[in-house]
Amino acid sequence: MEELRILILAAGKGTRMRSEKAKVLHTVCGVPLVMCVYNSAAKLPNQGLYVVVGEGIDEVKQVFSDREVFFIHQAKQLGTGHAVMTAAEQLRSHSGSLLVLNGDMPLVSTAILKRLADFHKEAAAAVTLLTARLENPYGYGRVVRTVTGEISKIVEERDASDLQRAILEINTGVYCFKIGTLFEALDKISTQNAQNEYYLTDVISVLTAMGQPVAGMVAPDPDEVLGVNTRYELATIEARVRASILKGLMESGVTIIDPAATYIDATVNIKSDTVIYPNCILEKSTRIGSHCTIHAASHLVNAQTADYVTVRESTVITDSTIGEYSTVGPFAHVREHTCIGSHCRVGNFVEIKKSVLGNDTKAAHLAYIGDAEIGEHVNIGAGTITCNYDGVHKNKTIIEDGVFIGSDSQLVAPVRIGKGAYVAAGSTITEDIPAFSLGIARGRQVVKEGWAQSRQKPNKPSIHSDPPAKPDK
Ligand code: UD1
Ligand code: CA
């Protein structure tokens, strides 16, 4: 089998994004542009996958931290041709073909890349271009052909004449090169163009001048080879990807009530017979079990739910897990590293952070639970606060099985409430409570009988005295 190596160009800044972040790091449904390209390319059998990095080098490398790729550092971004020249040292001596592709074309499929590689082998050309015919080719390099239909060169939008701009066939930014001739031709390109850059596309005219065969393959679906240069293009492409993610989920048995108002990353997994209401956002490694209901306007980031979980309206869950048959929300905030057991209830205006809730535990209304270990069958009354922070350290609250915390209590950490104990409503608990005891820590009530009447102002009618007599008619 002929050797194939793959080179992804990902060093550019992406000036048209107007961003501090390198363009290829911008995401489509949670996946960085360059990763979308990698995912399709890496499925081709190959002898090595190389990524040219430069702008945002550390972050781009980070994206590939658990993948096997070779990095090529393009310290100065002098154009796509220069990006490939930078790879000369690592690639020049190899035989076989090099598939070069831009790192900003997130919809490109493995199938089309494979077809191009196969076509290239058949054609025995020095280069095979993947081209496409677009209704609106604005911004792309145009493929210039001779009268007999042979490709003679690629002209960039900014260097093109009006006549050339009218050409609808564009360069997609995917090429299959014979490695030896590629680097020979690259030695001959210059920066004499509108952008003063080394254009990879100039290699085409150099190859034709060298008498080398240049082939082209037209992509049957022009949509999948679109590049992202602006945030508007990013949003347009993301909408397309989002629709296909939702379609896939629906086909696998998930009910999406309003696909136009639902935002689910490509990295999210949802089991069948789950219902997603409108305006929900599900991101990162969120995993939803089957028979769950995620009500409107909830935002789940890296949340894991078992089966039969209900997330009520306007709930935020981040980096946390929810056990089966539990209900969270409406208006709940489950923050990082929280583990909620099964059959739990976390109600409105409850915030939980770095805490464990055992099975059958309830915090139904208005509570802050931070750095707490809570056992099973615990009832957390309305208005309970774990005072976990003393201004310097975060301290733990431990609430053992079967505890009842009365409403409006503060548990000043570190503190332990023993198994089966009760905390009286309105208590400020500062000391441990032994198992099966009652902790009560609040001011005693004093009743002063008749007090209100005694402070009544003279001549002023009051609800505390008889109403004044009605005047005579
Ligand atoms: C490029 C092509 C154009 C084609 C279009 C398809 C050139 C000169 N033009 O234009 O013919 O129609 O793609 O989308 O190649 N990059 C580097 N180093 C650099 C410059 C760019 O690695 O010095 C990378 C970028 O990160 C990006 C890719 O190369 O992933 C393409 O660069 P971009 O500036 O987007 O090229 P276009 O102007 O879109
Ligand atoms: Ca581009």
Cα 104 to ligand 2 centroid, rounded to whole Å: 6
- For the question of whether the overall pTM of this predicted structure is more than 0.85, the answer is yes
CA distances, 409 to each of 333, 426, 435, 439 (Å): 20, 5, 18, 11
Q: Is residue 466 part of a domain?
A: no
Q: Is residue 367 part of a domain?
A: yes
Domain boundary (188, 203, 225) is at: 225
pLDDT at res. 472: 66
Q: Is residue 459 part of a domain?
A: no
Cα 110 to ligand 1 centroid, rounded to whole Å: 20
pLDDT at res. 313: 98
CATH number, position 180: 3.90.550.10
Give the position, in ligand 1's atom list, of the atom nearest the Cα of 225.
14
Where do runs of H (alpha helix) occur along 267-414? Answer: none
120 catalytic? Reply is no
Same domain, 59 and 154: yes
Cα 60 to ligand 2 centroid, rounded to whole Å: 17
Same domain, 369 and 326: yes
Same domain, 159 and 189: yes
Domain that holds residue 316: 238-439
User: Which residues sit with their C-beta closer than 6 Å to ligand 1?
Assistant: 9-12, 24, 52, 74, 77-80, 82-83, 102-104, 140-141, 154, 156, 170-173, 199-201, 227, 229
Same domain, 353 and 204: no
Domain boundary (181, 199, 225) is at: 225
Q: Is residue 166 part of a domain?
A: yes
Q: HSE of 40 in the Cβ direction (CA atoms, 13 Å)?
A: 27
pLDDT at res. 466: 62
pLDDT at res. 465: 59
**Probe ligand 1: pick from 52, 80, 104, max atoms within 8 Å of CB?**
80
Same domain, 100 and 247: no
Q: Is residue 204 part of a domain?
A: yes
Give the position, in ligand 1's atom list, of the atom nearest the Cα of 12.
26
Q: Is residue 456 part of a domain?
A: no
**Beta pairing partners, 386:** 411
pLDDT at res. 333: 98
Supply the residue whose CA is at minimum distance from atom 19 of ligand 1.
Answer: 79
d(CA 183, CA 187): 6
CATH number, position 309: 2.160.10.10
Going residue by residue through the chain, which has 473 residues, state the pLDDT in tens, using 9 for 90 and above. Answer: 689 999 999 999 999 999 999 999 999 999 999 999 999 999 999 999 999 999 999 999 999 999 999 999 999 999 999 999 999 999 999 999 999 999 999 999 999 999 999 999 999 999 999 999 999 999 999 999 999 999 999 999 999 999 999 999 999 999 999 999 999 999 999 999 999 999 999 999 999 999 999 999 999 999 999 999 999 999 999 999 999 999 999 999 999 999 999 999 999 999 999 999 999 999 999 999 999 999 999 999 999 999 999 999 999 999 999 999 999 999 999 999 999 999 999 999 999 999 999 999 999 999 999 999 999 999 999 999 999 999 999 999 999 999 999 999 999 999 999 999 999 999 999 999 999 999 999 999 999 999 998 887 777 766 655 666 677 65
Cα 394 to ligand 2 centroid, rounded to whole Å: 48
Same domain, 46 and 82: yes
Same domain, 33 and 155: yes
d(CA 280, CA 260): 11
* Cα 417 from chain centre: 40
Number of domains comprising the chain: 2
Same domain, 216 and 332: no
Entry field: residues in the chain: 473
Domain boundary (225, 252, 271) is at: 225
Give the position, in ligand 1's atom list, of the atom nearest the Cα of 173.
6
Catalytic residue among 26, 73, 299, 365: 365
Burial of 94 by CB count in 10 Å (0-12 exposed, 13-18 middle, 19+ buried)? Answer: middle
Strands 428-429 and 310-311: unpaired
Supply the residue whose CA is at minimum distance from atom 14 of ligand 1.
Answer: 227
Supply the residue whose CA is at minimum distance from atom 8 of ligand 1.
Answer: 199
pLDDT at res. 2: 83
Same domain, 351 and 412: yes
Q: Is residue 232 part of a domain?
A: no
Which ligand is nearest to the Cα of residue 171, counting in written order?
A: 1
Same domain, 188 and 302: no
Same domain, 325 and 385: yes
Same domain, 252 and 173: no
d(CA 338, CA 205): 60
For residue 432, what are the contacts with CB-CB under 8 A and spacing of at least 6?
415, 416, 417, 418
Q: Is residue 448 part of a domain?
A: no
d(CA 5, CA 88): 13
Q: HSE of 297 in the Cβ direction (CA atoms, 13 Å)?
A: 7
Q: Are 346 and 323 in contact (CB under 8 A)?
A: no
CA distances, 113 to each of 97, 130, 144, 240 (Å): 13, 9, 22, 20
Cα 183 to ligand 2 centroid, rounded to whole Å: 22
